């Protein structure tokens, strides 16, 4: 009886109730992480008022958070390739929930900085491992759309934090930031208990030589989806521990440098816009483009961006979709720079929100497919770390350009997004419909890339 790969087995089992439940669990925590990441932009006005700070000083809590995310993405991504995805996910979401909730009770701004740093470590570890693990439970032909669906929960979290900020601002005054941090931590606390249900990734188990355990997980998925179990022996890959330096091996160096550059550039632009924009629109605005009501509308514009990205990655491919959305994001930023009337400013902001989150959806779907199993979580961890570096760079870029005006800052972000689109366009492989890691292996073998 010929042996089959995990991807082939997952293709025969198909998607069903197991993956739907998996998406709901991952999605809940993904939305919670979005709320944690973006909370400081909405909390900054009340936080500044409560502690007697300027808005710029209050936003430094976000800088501490991004530093934590950098540490978490780098450390937990590597750890997930060594000890398993499931253990890391349970630990990181618990760290996220506990320290996120503790942030709300900070007696001083210095204490808040420490607690947001620790919360960021948990969130930074959760995001890349989530994606790597979700990808490893999906058949190749359905993977892209489901991964963008997971990323779509970020839009749900964005809308939720905007609504929560609106509500707490109306009835909590200077203490609004405390209630906002409570509300952003609660979904992660629920997500911790739900994640105890998750099995370990069959890809990881097989890579570590735990063949029977991998088969048990596949049997569990098949039973849940109402499909017959896989009877054939599983084709075990050569056991090999991935090392971070392998990301720059001859077969992977080009795509690693290009995709990691895209992560850095896109994240700098995204966080530069959305960490500072809420406070700007609430305090000053542009005519009717102001206040929490427009912020909720801005967050809602992300949902169709994800939906279109989900269609694009399965039709025109991951790479073209990512290039298209990055270019559209740059165009939205440029429109903001030249817009003079509130109506055009509103159109520019909605375009930026729509396209930037579609960019993230395609970026998260594409990246894990560029690496083999032993490097997938490591690759996503490094990508997540680059995103956190972008989050740390954004306040610096804004501080340097604040005297030149908000429009100059948005112009800089337009240039970064255009460069990101060029970088992605030069990646040497399209992964649509390919088994996980095939692009990396064909690249190493010198074969012609797909797509």
Q: CATH number, domain at 169?
A: 1.20.1250.20
pLDDT-based confidence at residue 311 (cuts at 50, 70, 90):
confident
Give the C-alpha separation, 258 to 263, whole Å. 9
Residue 451, in any domain of the structure: no
Q: Which region among 34-38, 74-78, 103-107, 217-221 has the lowest average model confidence (pLDDT)?
A: 74-78
Burial 179-192 (b: 16+ CB within 10 A, else e): bbbbbbbebbbebb
| Assigned token pair, 96 | 């996220």
Q: Is the pLDDT of residue 402 over 60?
A: no
CA dihedral 144, 146, 150, 151 (to 10 degrees): 30
Residue 10, in any domain of the structure: yes
Residue 289, in any domain of the structure: yes
Domain total of the chain: 1
Residue 450, in any domain of the structure: no
| Assigned token pair, 450 | 């797909």
Mean pLDDT of the chain: 83
CB atoms within 10 A of CB 107: 7
Q: Would you say the C-alpha torsion 63, 411, 262, 248 has a positive or negative sign?
A: negative
Q: Is the pLDDT of residue 449 over 50?
A: no
- The arithmetic mean of pLDDT across residues 2-29, rounded, is 88
Q: Across 5-19, 33-47, 108-122, 132-146, which has the greatest mean pLDDT?
A: 108-122
> Three-state DSSP class for 283?
helix
Residue 66, in any domain of the structure: yes
- The arithmetic mean of pLDDT across residues 400-419, rounded, is 78
pLDDT-based confidence at residue 401 (cuts at 50, 70, 90):
low
Domain membership of residue 285 as a residue range:
6-233+242-445
pLDDT-based confidence at residue 287 (cuts at 50, 70, 90):
low
pLDDT of residue 240: 56
Q: Across 52-56, 60-64, 93-97, 365-369, which has the greatest mean pLDDT?
A: 93-97
Torsions phi, psi of 295, nearest 5? -65, -40
Quick one: what percent of the chain has pLDDT higher than 70? 88
Q: Is the pLDDT of residue 101 over 90?
A: yes
CB atoms within 10 A of CB 424: 29
Maximum pairwise Cα distance, the chain: 72
What helix, strand, coil percent values describe the chain, rounded to 5?
80, 0, 20
pLDDT of residue 177: 92
pLDDT of residue 365: 82
Residue 1, in any domain of the structure: no
DSSP 29-88: HHHHHHHHHHHHHHHHHHHHHHHT--HHHHTHHHHHHHHHHHHHHHHHHHHHHHH-HHHH
């Amino acid at each position: 009886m010929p042996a089959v790969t995990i991807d082939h087995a997952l293709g025969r089992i198909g998607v069903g109730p197991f993956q739907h439940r998996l998406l709901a669990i991952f999605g809940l925590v993904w939305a919670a992480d979005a709320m944690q990441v973006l909370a400081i932009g909405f909390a900054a006005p009340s936080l500044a008022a409560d502690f007697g700070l300027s808005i710029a000083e209050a936003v430094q809590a976000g800088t501490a958070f991004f530093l934590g995310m950098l540490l978490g993405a780098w450390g937990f991504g590597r750890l997930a390739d060594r000890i398993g995805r499931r253990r890391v996910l349970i630990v990181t979401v618990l760290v996220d929930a506990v320290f996120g909730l503790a942030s709300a009770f900070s007696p001083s701004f210095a204490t808040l900085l420490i607690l947001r740093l620790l919360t960021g470590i948990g969130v930074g570890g959760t995001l890349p491992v989530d994606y790597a693990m979700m990808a490893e439970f999906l058949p190749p032909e359905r993977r892209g759309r489901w991964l963008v669906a997971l990323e779509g929960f970020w839009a749900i979290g964005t809308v939720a934090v905007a609504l929560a900020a609106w509500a707490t601002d109306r009835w909590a005054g200077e203490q609004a930031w405390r209630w906002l941090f409570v509300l952003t931590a609660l979904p992660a606390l629920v997500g911790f208990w739900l994640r105890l249900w998750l099995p370990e990734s069959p890809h990881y188990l097989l890579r570590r030589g735990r063949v029977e355990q991998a088969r048990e997980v596949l049997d569990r998925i098949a039973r849940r989806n109402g499909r017959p179990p896989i009877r054939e022996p599983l084709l075990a890959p050569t056991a090999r521990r991935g090392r971070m330096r392998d990301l720059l091996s001859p077969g992977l160096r080009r795509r690693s440098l290009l995709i990691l550059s895209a992560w850095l550039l896109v994240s700098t632009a995204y966080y530069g816009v959305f960490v500072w924009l809420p406070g700007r629109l609430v305090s000053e605005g542009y005519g009717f483009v102001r206040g929490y009501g427009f912020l909720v509308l801005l967050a809602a514009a992300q949902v169709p961006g994800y939906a279109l990205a989900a269609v694009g990655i399965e039709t025109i491919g991951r790479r073209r979709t990512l290039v298209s959305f990055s270019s559209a994001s740059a165009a939205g930023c440029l429109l903001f720079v030249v817009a003079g009337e509130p109506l055009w400013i509103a159109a520019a902001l909605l375009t930026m929100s729509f396209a930037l989150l579609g960019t993230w959806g395609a970026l998260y779907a594409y990246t894990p497919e560029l690496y083999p199993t032993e490097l997938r979580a490591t690759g996503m961890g490094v990508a997540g770390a680059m995103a956190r570096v972008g989050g740390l760079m954004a306040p610096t870029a804004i501080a340097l350009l604040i005297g030149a005006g908000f429009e100059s800052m948005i112009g800089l972000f337009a240039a970064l997004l255009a460069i990101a689109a060029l970088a992605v366009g030069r990646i040497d492989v399209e992964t649509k419909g390919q088994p996980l890691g095939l692009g990396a292996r064909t690249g190493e073998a010198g074969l012609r890339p797909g797509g």
